[in-house]
Amino acid sequence: MNCYDCVLDGTIAPAVAVCSRCGSGACLNHVRVTAEHPHRVTGTGVATMPRTARRATCPTCYAAERT
């Protein structure tokens, strides 16, 4: 799989991650990795997990979530 954003720029680079939101491939230059606390559905008690998880997104989804 190739990086979607690189293809749009007219270059080809292998994807190293898949965007967790839209599913497009992202290379090392375009992938945005953030830490988030996973949530689980519970009746009562802790709903947020204590440790952070890694989430990879493409630049478009990253920007859309930050605004």
Give the C-alpha separation, 28 to 13, whole Å. 9
- Return the pLDDT at 59: 96
- Return the pLDDT at 44: 77
Give the C-alpha separation, 18 to 56, whole Å. 7
Q: Give the distance, in angstroms, between the CA of residue 30 and the centroid of all CA atoms in the same chain.
A: 10
- The residues spanned by each domain of the chain are 4-66
Gyration radius of the chain's alpha carbons:
15
Give the C-alpha separation, 37 to 30, whole Å. 23
pLDDT, tens digit only, all 67 positions of the chain: 999 999 999 999 999 999 999 999 999 999 999 998 887 777 777 788 788 889 999 999 999 988 7
Q: Judge contact between 59 and 27, C-beta under 8 A.
A: no
